[in-house]
Copies of this chain bind each other. A is one copy, B any other.
Amino acid sequence: MGASSVKDVARTAGVSLGTVSNVLNRPDRVSPATRAKVEKAMRELGFVRNESARQLRAGTSRTLAYVMLDASNPFFTDVAQGIESAAEAVDLSLVLCNSGNDQRRESAHLALLEQRRTQGVLVTPIDPDSAVLDEVVARGTPVVIVDRTRTDTRFCSVAVDDVLGGRLAVEHLIDRGHTRIAYIGGPYTLGQVRDRLAGAREAWAAAELPAEDLIEITIDGLYVAEGLEAGQRLAGLPASRRPTAAFCANDLVALGLLQQAISSGTRVPEGLAIVGYDDIVFAAAAAVPLTSVRQPRQELGRAAADLVLDEATNPDHEHSQVQFTPELVARASTIT
């Protein structure tokens, strides 16, 4: 059974406790003969080192954690992959937790990670300004905010310049000759949704186009279903007000919109041009490949992991807010 301890191993192998521990932690210190004996005993007894006891004594855990906002959004799993590659490089393992946009679950995960003395916690929080995060840090667990920014600078964070992203998207549409477009996003409690709109407005203003021709369509969440619904709302507009292009706050919404457009006979991009955001793998694979604003997802993850490690190990760590630059990837959904 899994019930055997170093003590049992020591007894079976006829050595002392300390020697067994040495086999586990400093195999070079122990003679090949005894090492073999001990390893044999371990196998026979099915010994499994008790990580709790190890960690209690050693004081240190060998894991990082990432609390994701929505595990079913490929964007976040890509970020996770970046984190994992950085963690692997320094021989830490990564556990993933999914808050699924639920404040209660987020808190529960954070509490448990704290109690486990996790080396570092990365989180894409529901509310980046929540006091819960401050408390976690105050009690001693390094926390880095991923893909969100706070209003203060008391955290390390890694994000992408969403204002710039919004500007890139809309500049592209203006370049293609569009003079009436929709911005589809929501809820506006999300910083990204606000920032991307802000960028869109900047570009719009810079081109001296009338503000009322940048139409805001507000939706309840950044999912496929909301994109479909937004498509119906667009179709319901009088022709004189109907936009010739839409900029969606993320790719899921854009895919929903695309589906609705095509199924209702609107040609993309001739009848409606579409720009998404995130450039998830399904954007390129859509039947009308989607123009999208790419975020460096893996780099985001890697950078966040590096920051949390620095915070965990470097005594004169200073918080920094890293901001990556997005990039427009033009595809068929805007280009004929």
Q: Is the CB of B50 within 8 A of A53?
A: no
CB distance from A301 to the nearest CB of B (A): 12
* Mask: chain A, 266-297; 1 = CB below 8 Å from B; 0 = not: 00000000000000011011111100000000
Q: Of A52, A88, A139, which is in contact with the most chain B CB atoms at under 10 Å from its CB?
A: A52
Contacts of A56 in B (CB 8 A): 50, 52-53, 56
User: Which of chain B's residues have a CB closer than 8 A to the CB of A141?
Assistant: 2
Minimum Cβ distance to chain B for residue A6 (Å): 13
How near does chain B come to A202, taking the closest CB pair, in angstroms?
A: 31
Task: Let me know if A96 and B93 touch, CB within 8 A.
Answer: no
A72→B74 contact, CB < 8 A: yes
Note all chain B residues with C-beta closer than 8 A to A3. Answer: 140
Q: A52-B52, A140-B2 are in contact. Are A84 and B98 (CB under 8 A)?
A: yes
A31 at the interface (CB under 8 A from B): no
Residue contact B46 to A139, C-beta cutoff 8 Å = yes
Interchain nearest-CB distance for A275 vs B (Å): 16
List of B residues within 8 angstroms of A94 by Cβ: 97-98
What is the copy number of this chain in the assembly? 2
Q: Which of A114-122, A189-197, A322-330 contacts B (4 or more CB under 8 A)?
A: A114-122
A90 within 8 A of B: no
In whole angstroms, what is the CA distance A52 to B138 when docked? 20
A256 and B285 CA atoms in complex are apart in Å by 6
Say yes or no: A285-B114 contact (C-beta < 8 A), given A53-B52, A96-B71, A139-B2. Answer: no
For A54, A139, A284, A288, the residue with the greatest tally of chain B CB atoms inside 10 Å of its CB is: A139
B115 touches A49 (CB 8 A): yes
Q: Is A126 an interface residue (CB 8 A)?
A: no
Cα A313 to Cα B96 with chains together (Å)? 25
Q: Are B288 and A117 in contact (CB under 8 A)?
A: no
- Chain B residues with CB under 8 A of A63: 112
**How far is the CB of A129 from the nearest CB of chain B, in Å?**
20
Within 8 A of B (CB), among A94-147: 94-98, 100, 105, 108-109, 112, 114-117, 138-141
Considering only CB atoms, which chain B residue lies closest to A287 in the complex?
B287
Chain B residues with CB under 8 Å of A139's CB are: 1-2, 46, 48
**Interface flag for A306 (CB, 8 Å):** no
User: Which chain B residue shows the least CB distance to A139?
Assistant: B46
A200 at the interface (CB under 8 A from B): no
Is A152 at the interface (CB under 8 A from chain B)?
Answer: no
Chain B contacts of A281 at CB under 8 A? 72, 224
A55 interface hit (Cβ, 8 Å): yes
> What residues on B are CB-neighbors of A96 within 8 Å?
71, 95-98
Contact of A80 among B1, B71, B112, B288 (CB under 8 A): B71
Please tell me if the beta carbons of A52 and B117 are within 8 angstroms of each other in the complex: yes
From the candidates B48, B53, B71, B259, name the one contacting A140 in the complex (CB within 8 A). B48
CA distance A54 to B55 in the complex (A): 12
A-B contact pairs, 23 of them (CB 8 A): A2-B140, A46-B139, A49-B115, A50-B56, A50-B115, A51-B115, A54-B115, A71-B80, A71-B81, A71-B96, A84-B98, A88-B105, A93-B97, A93-B109, A95-B96, A95-B97, A96-B98, A255-B282, A258-B287, A259-B289, A263-B289, A263-B332, A287-B287
